[in-house]
Chain A
Amino acid sequence: MPAALAVKSLVKRYGRNVLALNGVSFEVDKGDFFVIIGPSGCGKSTLLRCVAGILNYDGGEIYIDGRNVSNVPAHKRNISYMPETYALFPHMRIYDNVAFRLRMQNFDESEIKKEVKRALELVGLAGFEERWPSELSGGQRQRVALARAVVANPSLLLLDEPLSHVDYRLQRKLMEDFKNIHKNLGNTWVLTTHIQEQGLSLADTLMVMNVGVIEQKGKPNEIYESPRTVFAARFVGDINLYSGQVVEQKGELCTVKTNMGEFKGIYKGTGEIIGKTVAYGIRPNHILISSVEERRENSFRARLVSAYYFGEFIEYIFERPDGVQVKVHADPMPVKLGEEYAVSWDTIRGIILDKPSVIEGLNIEDVIYGR
């Protein structure tokens, strides 16, 4: 079975100097819920627009359901594209907005009526047919845009930042709805986001993009637990990162010598990294706080300097005498600002990364410390 979408060495330039896509290649399986995550300006929207056929590109090929669409115009690709602004037709009622694709395909009016009703029911907006887009709230507009995109069930749905313009509570609700509608329809969805939580919780497959390149593609938990690059590790969740030299390598288990002492962790890559400068990462929710020094492999003492209340957890910031800070996410604890505590973590939680990014020529320490 051919992939629902296959992109091969796609290159897109804006003007002479900006390389928006630098030879991007990936495949999306049929029926997948595929999320592209990356900072703004990384090229994810450009990628989506190239696939949609509304933006020309400078090199590479795009296959939809095994068909090379490089020379197929947008209206013959059997896809739907939903831009960040939703782009509802302001001069059409909701009914006519949703009916647009059906009208273009010359369905007869009784069929159109049925399909529009079905699509609006699917997004929970039955009875909104006669309204104008300007009369709807942001969330409702988005649902209409989704109904318009899924009507007549195109094989591939491309959603650009679909959840960026709704408030947090609605985001959660829409995320669940998206997953349900996707399950209902069974077609392939590709959507972009810059919000890590959306990416992790929505995706069947997650792809992390950095300026014009793919950092990593995989299941959300794979990328969260075993990122391949510093960039990917940082983009899917909060992480403490320190640089150090590898002094011992036994299979996946490695020891890294940092300024704060030696830490043990897991290296998922292949090849010899002894002596190399690497990043040692530990996620804030994997760190334990205790008042007495425990005999653990990875621990040090540090003073609590600040605490931020997030509701479901508290972010504690600890600082060592040498100025190095560590961030810990934990439940509320009876700790006092200014006091010294021991922080520690399991070796299996230590993430060792030897690549700052798939982009070549970056200094790993510059990336770690954001220089």
Chain B
Amino acid sequence: MVGESNNMSAGNRSESKAQEYPLISFIQRNIRYLLILPPLIVVILFLVTPSLMILLLSFNKGSVTRFDPTNISLDNFIAVFSRPSTYVILRDTLGMSILAALVTLLVAYPVAYFISFKIQNFQLQGIITFMLVAPYWVDWSIRSISWLSILGEKGLVNYTLMSLGLVNQPLSELLFTRWTLLIIWVQTNLLFMIFPIYLSLTLIDPDLVNVARTLGASPFKAFTKVTFRLSLPGVVIGIIFVFISTLGDYVTPALWAGGLQMLGLTVQNYAWHFNWPMAAAYSVLLLIVTLGVIWIVLRFANIKQVFYR
């Protein structure tokens, strides 16, 4: 509304000028469409087009690398769905993603709550935010390898447990199991969960909680009925972030999951062996699963109510 009225007044002021220069008048009239044009072009070029190409390719057979309209069949999808392994992969992929989202939420929420409500000092807030962001400045591969020195046989965790006398020999399950994958996923996604929750928490009027308390709500009830409820937009966005980044991830599982098959990894395997149509078919499955999960999250969270202000 504000933007529009600004446009109008700007338009009126330079009306005479606009009449002189047809290009300026054209830009003024269509400024809204012109502004979304660059991102629109990028999205169409680098997201929509490749996705459509993959979709088309998934209906081809054999090892082709370019869509062949004379060779259309559903064989890839029949193969995908008739393999029992597909269902194991689906279960593991979805299970690990859901687990990662929940664990990330459990770790992130208290942090976000603490920063937004318990720290009044803006400088301190800035320092903590910086400390949260700092690890992401380190290259992904280096950050990934550093897990060796934490979870490895002579790593920090085992060293601590051993010197405390809690275990007699180093735990070997820390590395190259699905739990390794979980830990790494939680760490890499933590920030993307903390920030949306932190933002939605800072938007909450503290007096809402105060009023709830004087109306007879215990601190816990006030949290669940007011604070948590009003922070749901952040929670939903955070969960979607984690899903999107974990469902399709194939590098982390390949490196750390100790042979656990995932959907993204399967796609990569077929692509590696130049079976592009099968890779495309699994990609389409991955896309459907991802969209399905997001749809369920949004439905479950009743998006209209969540964002109601």
Interface size on A, residues (CB 8 A): 26
Answer whether residue A39 sits at the interface, using C-beta atoms and an 8 A cutoff.
no
Bound-state CA distance A65–B49 (Å) is: 73
Interface residues of A in 53-79 (CB under 8 A from B): 53-54, 73-75, 77, 79
Answer whether residue B218 sits at the interface, using C-beta atoms and an 8 A cutoff.
yes
List A contacts of B230 (CB < 8 A): 90-91
The interface stretch among A80-88, A167-175, A238-246 is: A80-88
The interface stretch among A97-105, A306-314, A341-349 is: A97-105
Contact with A along B198-232 (1 / 0, CB 8 A): 00000001011011111111110110011001100
Q: Are A54 and B226 in contact (CB under 8 A)?
A: no
A80 — nearest CB in chain B belongs to which residue? B214
Bound-state CA distance A83–B211 (Å) is: 8
Q: Are A75 and B208 in contact (CB under 8 A)?
A: no
A16 to chain B, nearest CB (A): 14
Answer whether residue A132 sits at the interface, using C-beta atoms and an 8 A cutoff.
yes
A132 and B226 in contact, given A54-B213, A87-B211 (Cβ under 8 angstroms)? no
Q: Are A82 and B221 in contact (CB under 8 A)?
A: no
Q: Are B214 and A52 in contact (CB under 8 A)?
A: yes
List B contacts of A54 (CB < 8 A): 210, 213-214
Interface residues of A in 89-141 (CB under 8 A from B): 89-91, 100-101, 104-105, 132, 134
List B contacts of A132 (CB < 8 A): 308
Q: Are A83 and B308 in contact (CB under 8 A)?
A: no
Answer whether residue A329 sits at the interface, using C-beta atoms and an 8 A cutoff.
no
A82 and B217 in contact, given A90-B309, A91-B230 (Cβ under 8 angstroms)? no
List B contacts of A100 (CB < 8 A): 212, 215-217, 225
Answer whether residue A301 sits at the interface, using C-beta atoms and an 8 A cutoff.
no
Pick the contact of A89: B208, B210, B219, B221 (CB < 8 A): B208
Answer whether residue A143 sits at the interface, using C-beta atoms and an 8 A cutoff.
no
Pick the contact of A101: B207, B210, B216, B226 (CB < 8 A): B216
Bound-state CA distance A41–B167 (Å) is: 60
Answer whether residue B6 sits at the interface, using C-beta atoms and an 8 A cutoff.
no
Answer whether residue A355 sits at the interface, using C-beta atoms and an 8 A cutoff.
no
Q: Are A75 and B305 in contact (CB under 8 A)?
A: no
Q: Are A75 and B309 in contact (CB under 8 A)?
A: no
Q: Are B215 and A101 in contact (CB under 8 A)?
A: yes
List B contacts of A80 (CB < 8 A): 214-215
Pick the contact of A91: B207, B218, B308 (CB < 8 A): B308
A171 to chain B, nearest CB (A): 21
A75 and B214 in contact, given A83-B207, A85-B205 (Cβ under 8 angstroms)? yes
Q: Are B207 and A105 in contact (CB under 8 A)?
A: no
Q: Are A104 and B216 in contact (CB under 8 A)?
A: yes
A158 — nearest CB in chain B belongs to which residue? B214
Q: Are B216 and A105 in contact (CB under 8 A)?
A: yes
Q: Are B207 and A85 in contact (CB under 8 A)?
A: yes
List B contacts of A104 (CB < 8 A): 215-217, 221
Answer whether residue A12 sits at the interface, using C-beta atoms and an 8 A cutoff.
no
A106 — nearest CB in chain B belongs to which residue? B216
B216 — nearest CB in chain A belongs to which residue? A104
List A contacts of B305 (CB < 8 A): 91
List A contacts of B308 (CB < 8 A): 90-91, 132, 134
Bound-state CA distance A40–B219 (Å) is: 30
Binding site for A on B (CB under 8 A): 205, 207-208, 210-219, 221-222, 225-226, 229-230, 305, 308-309
> 12 A-B Cβ contacts within 8 A?
A49-B210, A54-B213, A75-B221, A79-B214, A81-B211, A83-B211, A90-B230, A91-B229, A91-B305, A100-B215, A104-B216, A134-B309
Besides A134-B308, A148-B215, 15 other A-B contacts (C-beta < 8 A): A49-B210, A54-B213, A54-B214, A73-B218, A73-B219, A75-B217, A75-B218, A80-B214, A83-B207, A83-B210, A90-B230, A100-B215, A100-B217, A104-B216, A104-B217
Binding site for B on A (CB under 8 A): 49, 52-54, 73-75, 77, 79-83, 85, 87, 89-91, 100-101, 104-105, 132, 134, 148, 158
